[in-house]
Amino acid sequence: MRLRWLRAPGLIKRLFPDFVWRYNSDEKKVYLTFDDGPIPESTMWTLDLLKEKGVKATFFCVGDNVRKFPDLYRRIVEEGHAVGNHTHNHLKGWYNNTQKYVENVILASEYIDSKLFRPPYGLIKTSQAKYLSTDYKVIMWDVLSGDYRQDITPERCYRDVMKKVRPGSILLFHNHLKSEKNMRYTVPRLIDELKQQGYDFGICH
Catalytic residue among 35, 142, 147, 160: 35
Which of 84, 97, 172, 89 has the alpha carbon at shortest distance from 135?
84
Residue 2 C-alpha from the chain's centroid: 14
174 catalytic residue (yes or no): yes
Catalytic residue among 81, 86, 88, 174: 174
- What distance in Å separates the CA atoms of residue 80 and residue 137, rounded to the nearest whole number? 19
Distance between terminal CA atoms of the chain? 28
5 class by beta-carbon count within 10 Å (0-12 exposed, 13-18 middle, 19+ buried): exposed
64 catalytic residue (yes or no): no
Residue 135 CA: distances (Å) to CA of 25, 58, 124, 126: 26, 19, 16, 15
DSSP designation for 169: B
- Residues with a catalytic annotation lie at 35, 174
